[in-house]
Structure 1
Amino acid sequence: MRNLRLIINREYLARVKNKTFIIMTFLSPLIFVGMILLIAYLSMLNSTDQKIIAIHDESGMFSAEFKDGKQVQYLDYSKKSLKEARQEVLDNEYFGLIHISDIESVTGKPADIEFFGKDAPGFATIENIEKTISDKLTREQLISRGIDVSEIDKARAEVNVEIQNFAGERSSKMSNYIKMFFGGAAGYLLMMFIIIYGNMVMRSVIEEKTNRIIEIIVSSVKPFQLLLGKVLGTSLAGITQFTVWVILGTVLLLGVSSFMGIDPTAVQSPASVAIENAARPEINQLVVDILKLPYASLLAFFVIYFIGGYFLYSAIYAAIGAAVDSETDTQQFMFPIILPLILGIYVGFFSVVENPHGTVSTIFSMVPLTSPIVMLMRIPFGVPWWELVISISILIATNFGVLWLSAKIYRVGILMYGKKPTYKELYKWLKY
């Protein structure tokens, strides 16, 4: 036990005192916060930048239908010739020109529409142009057929589906996406930590093996203790770094954004636009859903699955590091390790959001190689306690099994040099 404690202290201090580790610990939050503030600042600039679009309407039907908004202003150039309108738009550096050809009858072929611009317009701009013209043509066709449009408008019914469970608790229509965001962020963060710090364990083993230090160490320490000490020491260093990132990043984000007057939440996305366009009750319900998320459970199980998933993959990384002589030789073994992590992310984003309690989501939240990611994505949706118990129990049991198998490979591999092992040879090592 004393040897294990010494190994953990050695591995932890070797990581924490490393200059690169110290620099990246304090530099990473600065880079991350800087990126968030830069995106928010550019988004704020983009939201205040108003586009000017000229309209050349030969039919005389549509120019009045285009209404100015916060980000777009329409100018009617229908009285000018198309050539003059194009030249004036070009000289004034307007965003673009909409040209609508004349039509003989609203019941005939729709008007030909062209957009002239220096740059291609965004999807929202094109959609707004098409919708404006389409709505106008539709109304004119209804009128030409003797249909009272006002009666159609009066008969139009607004349908709003309220979502609630059998206990009477209501939720918003976007609640699943909010839950998926928090669960997906936790799962993706866990995957990144496993890859980053698992590679750190592997490089540490390769370095000691290359320097022949390992031959001296194993003379007084059992290989299993050395393997376990490396995994524990590196994991503590990772938790330390992550804690510093969270604290320093939060302080920097709040402090710098307040000082510069930048709102980090100003980033415009399709989801934020949808929320802005939603009814006020829906927004209120969405806020309630965000506040009702099980943050304590998500944090607690993030720690549990972080430890379980990290130990599981770090043991595999350490075994690979012991089996090879250089980091270049590890490439043949890396894909089978990364594949379950990618599969977990894929299942989480494409299966959990649609059916969090379905067969696929449930099975992959039990498989130990994918459960740390998939189960974290399921937790915001509510997971029965017995499923959590089974998933964690399988993960812990698998950890002991993988540690035992990795120790066998580690015991043989750390003393072998000059030969790249095959999967067949690794299987033989397990029998020693």
Structure 2
Amino acid sequence: MHKLLLIIKREYLAKVRNKSFVIMTFLSPILMVAMVVLIAFLTKLNDGDKQIIVVLNESDYFGNEFVTTESTSYVNFKNIPLSVAKDSTVNLGFYGLLHIPNASTLEEISEQTFFYTKEAPSTMVLDKLEQIFKNRLEQNRLQELGVSKKEFIEIDKAYAINTATFSGELNIKGFNEIKAFIGGGFGYLIMMFIIIYGGFVMRSVIEEKTSRIIEVIISSVKPFQLMMGKIIGTSLAGITQFVIWIISASILLTVLILVFDVDPASFDTTNQLAKNGMPAATSVSNISEKAMALGAEIYKIPWVMLISFFMVYFLLGYLIYSSIYAAIGAAVDNETDTQQFVFPVILPLMLAIYVGFFSVFNNPHGPIAVAFSLFPLTSPIVMLMRLSSGIGEGGVPVWQVILSITLLIITFIGIVWLAAKIYRVGILMYGKKPSYKELYRWLKY
């Protein structure tokens, strides 16, 4: 035990004292915050670029429909030929020209209307123009049928079926997907941590093997102890780095908000809808009701339980994959030779992310979701997606959680045992790129 602690201490100090580790630990939060600020600045700059559209209306069906907003202005041309209107629009540097010709019916006018631009117009601009024509056509068709706009709104009123659990709790449509995204976010963090810091363990083994330091170390330490020390020491260094990132990034964001007086409302979806000429009053009421309902449901998510299980699955998943990475590092002489072994290791993680999202979204308690949440190489990610709905009634059955953790522990012990056998032989092998057949032979020694 004393030797294991010494190895953990050595690996931890060697990692945190590394210049590149120190630089990236303090530089990464600055880069992340700078990226957020840059995105906010570019968004504001993009919103500030007002688009001017010329309207050449030759019909009697349109009058005050084209209303200027914060993002779009309309300039009316009258009694001039289309060719002159095109030249004027280009020379004045306006965004585009909307030509509404004259015809006997509104249907014919809509079919013959063209929007001219220098380049392909944005979808948002087209959506706004098409909405204007859609509303006008709808109003005209209703008048022909003798139906008022108010009556049509009542007829066309949306319907959503009420859903609830057998215990009487109301459900919200689409909330299962939101919960799966939350769990998937935790799972994605596990995957990224495994890929980044599992690679650190592998490179650490390769460096010591190529420098022949390993030959001295294993004379006094068992390969199993050495491997465990590297895994734990590197993971502690990684956790230290993440904690520093979270704290420093939070402080930087707070300082930027206070110093530069950043208004969070600038990212409000409701304001963006109003800017784009959408019916703000309707969107405000609908979005507010949905936001309040979603906020109440998100508050009900068992966050303490979810974070606790995140730590459990994170630890067990990282230990399993780090053992595999350490075995790969012991089997090769340089990082180039690891490519044939690394991809099969990453494949279950990628499979867990993509298959987990699709299966949990469609049916979180279906056979595919359950199977992937129990399979040890994918369960740290898929089970977290399912656990966002809770444990017990309406959530993941308790026996599945217990079985999943038990299988992870058994798998970890088994992989460590197998990896230690590869480690014991591979750390002394030089000059030859091993094949899968040779690795299998090492396991039998």
Give the TM-score normalised by structure 2.
0.89
Tell me, yes or no, if the aligned pair for 1:36 and 1:264 is still in contact at 8 Å.
Answer: no
Q: Shift of the alpha carbon at 1:152?
A: 3.2
Separation (CA, whole Å) in 2 of partners of 1:426 and 1:300 = 37
1:364 paired to 2:372: yes
Deviations 1:160-183 (A, max 9, x none): 444433333334444334323322
Change (3 A) 1:122 1:19: same
Change (3 A) 1:426 1:337: same
Identity %: 49
Secondary structure of the 1:255 match is: helix
Q: Which amino acid aligns with 2:143?
A: I
Secondary structure of the 1:102 match is: coil
Separation (CA, whole Å) in 2 of partners of 1:328 and 1:268 = 48
Consecutive unaligned residues of structure 2, counting only runs of 5 or more, are: 391-395
Separation (CA, whole Å) in 1 of partners of 2:331 and 2:82 = 74
Q: Shift of the alpha carbon at 1:385?
A: 2.6
Separation (CA, whole Å) in 2 of partners of 1:356 and 1:369 = 18
Q: Shift of the alpha carbon at 1:34?
A: 1.2
1:307 paired to 2:322: no
Secondary structure of the 1:278 match is: helix
Change (3 A) 1:202 1:256: same
Q: Which amino acid aligns with 2:147?
A: D
1:397 aligns with 410
Change (3 A) 1:154 1:333: closer
Alignment of 1:138-177 (within 5 A): 138-144=138-144, 146-150=145-149, 151-177=151-177
When structure 1 is superposed on structure 2, of 399-408 and 296-305 the one drifting more is 296-305
Alignment of 1:290-301 (within 5 A): 290-301=298-309
Consecutive unaligned residues of structure 1, counting only runs of 5 or more, are: none
Secondary structure of the 2:98 match is: strand
When structure 1 is superposed on structure 2, of 63-72 and 13-22 the one drifting more is 63-72
Instruction: Calculate the aligned-residue CA RMSD, in Å.
Output: 2.5
1:253 paired to 2:253: yes
Q: Shift of the alpha carbon at 1:98?
A: 1.8
Secondary structure of the 1:56 match is: strand
Separation (CA, whole Å) in 1 of partners of 2:383 and 2:350 = 14
Q: Shift of the alpha carbon at 1:195?
A: 0.3
Secondary structure of the 2:388 match is: helix
Q: Shift of the alpha carbon at 1:41?
A: 2.5
Separation (CA, whole Å) in 1 of partners of 2:265 and 2:247 = 19
1:418 paired to 2:426: no
Secondary structure of the 2:53 match is: strand
Separation (CA, whole Å) in 2 of partners of 1:264 and 1:36 = 13
Change (3 A) 1:171 1:90: farther
Tell me, yes or no, if the aligned pair for 1:37 and 1:257 is still in contact at 8 Å.
Answer: no
When structure 1 is superposed on structure 2, of 234-243 and 124-133 the one drifting more is 124-133
1:349 aligns with 357
Separation (CA, whole Å) in 2 of partners of 1:368 and 1:430 = 21
Q: Which amino acid aligns with 1:325?
A: D
Q: Shift of the alpha carbon at 1:48?
A: 4.2
Q: Which amino acid aligns with 2:397?
A: P
Deviations 1:112-144 (A, max 9, x none): 232222443322322222232133224324434
Change (3 A) 1:277 1:415: farther
Separation (CA, whole Å) in 2 of partners of 1:217 and 1:391 = 36
Alignment of 1:10-159 (within 5 A): 10-106=10-106, 110-144=110-144, 146-150=145-149, 151-159=151-159
2:393 aligns with none
Deviations 1:21-71 (A, max 9, x none): 111111111111111122122223333443222222333323533333342
Q: Shift of the alpha carbon at 1:317?
A: 0.5
Separation (CA, whole Å) in 2 of partners of 1:263 and 1:191 = 34
Secondary structure of the 1:12 match is: helix
Q: Shift of the alpha carbon at 1:379?
A: 1.8
Change (3 A) 1:200 1:248: same
Separation (CA, whole Å) in 1 of partners of 2:155 and 2:223 = 79
Deviations 1:219-276 (A, max 9, x none): 1111111111111111111111111111111111122122112246745789x96986
Choose from 292, 295, 301 the match for 1:287.
Answer: 295
Change (3 A) 1:393 1:113: farther
1:187 aligns with 187
Alignment of 1:318-333 (within 5 A): 318-333=326-341
Tell me, yes or no, if the aligned pair for 1:37 and 1:264 is still in contact at 8 Å.
Answer: no
Separation (CA, whole Å) in 2 of partners of 1:348 and 1:257 = 37
Deviations 1:299-328 (A, max 9, x none): 211111111111111000000000000000
Q: Which amino acid aligns with 1:278?
A: N
Tell me, yes or no, if the aligned pair for 1:56 and 1:76 is still in contact at 8 Å.
Answer: yes
Tell me, yes or no, if the aligned pair for 1:47 and 1:71 is still in contact at 8 Å.
Answer: yes
Separation (CA, whole Å) in 2 of partners of 1:237 and 1:4 = 16
Change (3 A) 1:213 1:246: same
Separation (CA, whole Å) in 1 of partners of 2:26 and 2:370 = 39
Q: Which amino acid aligns with 1:257?
A: I
Separation (CA, whole Å) in 2 of partners of 1:421 and 1:268 = 56
Secondary structure of the 1:52 match is: strand
Q: Which amino acid aligns with 2:18?
A: N
Secondary structure of the 1:64 match is: coil
Tell me, yes or no, if the aligned pair for 1:89 and 1:96 is still in contact at 8 Å.
Answer: yes
Choose from 308, 316, 319 the match for 2:324.
Answer: 316
Tell me, yes or no, if the aligned pair for 2:56 and 2:76 is still in contact at 8 Å.
Answer: yes
Q: Which amino acid aligns with 1:23?
A: I
1:197 aligns with 197
Give the TM-score normalised by structure 1.
0.92
Tell me, yes or no, if the aligned pair for 1:179 and 1:381 is still in contact at 8 Å.
Answer: yes
Count residues in correspondence. Answer: 430
Separation (CA, whole Å) in 2 of partners of 1:293 and 1:85 = 58
Tell me, yes or no, if the aligned pair for 1:63 and 1:76 is still in contact at 8 Å.
Answer: no
Q: Shift of the alpha carbon at 1:333?
A: 0.8
When structure 1 is superposed on structure 2, of 227-236 and 274-283 the one drifting more is 274-283
Separation (CA, whole Å) in 2 of partners of 1:427 and 1:155 = 71
